Amino acid sequence: MLVRDHMRREVITVSPDDTLAAALRITRGHRIRHLPVVLGDNDLIGILSDRDIRLAMPSPLTVPDSEQLSYLEKTPVAMVMTREVIAVGEEETLEDAAKLLYSHRIGALPVVDASNRVRGILSETDILRSFTRILGVSRPSSRVELRLPDRPGALGRALIILSEHGLNIMSLILPPNRVDGMKVAVIHLETIDPREAIEALEAAGFEAGWPSLAQDLRKLDVNLA
């Protein structure tokens, strides 16, 4: 999962000399929240968000609308933009990009080449969309939680049982946290009824739940037949 496979390549940018009014029209017209600020051959020198524009605007409680508009028309992007830009390269992983967004509490990352030229942009929405596709939840599937011992071979044994029942695994997540020597795997199976496979897993000593261990559809008072 590399940034280049999930970023948006058609990037809308502004120059430092553009006005805030022009930048605001762009963000509203294209329904975007982040504008890389570039010079010359797409050289990245800053980034402007819709939040930056809002914070720069005079308060509507103290300044008439006409003065606010005048301020936006006169103020260049360079006066408001963030100059210390956090960016990523095309060959970096989507996981590392997600960590950057989370740790710096930002909404988008310009994607640059070795010469710091803008080649794309990756937003938190792009990452959410990508992880949704990767997890397979956009297609018909069943989510199963499986508690298993945290030791080599335990997960492999469970996967063999699933394969013996002809079930295709769409995605598998094994979070690093463990409790009392046990882990919980989250598996998306390409079926809408995994009950037979779950029973086989339980017969082999595993604890399983659909869609979770806490809320198992098999134990609810509903007709699943």
User: The sheet that has 88-89: what strands, in order across it?
Assistant: 88-89, 108-112, 118-123
User: If you average pLDDT over each of 78-92, 121-135, 177-191, which comes out highest?
Assistant: 78-92
- Cβ contact 36:26 at 8 Å: no
DSSP 3-state of 3: helix
Q: Which domains does the chain have, with CATH numbers?
A: 3-132 (3.10.580.10), 138-219 (3.30.70.260)
Distant-in-sequence contacts of 66-75, Cβ < 8 A, 24+ apart: 69/21, 71/20, 72/19, 72/20, 72/21, 72/24, 73/19, 73/20, 73/21, 74/19, 75/19, 75/20
Average pLDDT of the chain to the nearest whole number = 90
Separation of first and last alpha carbons in the chain: 39
Give me the mean pLDDT over the 159-181 stretch.
91
Give me the mean pLDDT over the 157-167 stretch.
94
pLDDT tens track for 3-59: 999 999 999 999 999 999 999 999 999 999 999 999 999 999 999 999 999 888 776
The confidence score (pLDDT) of residue 134 equals: 80
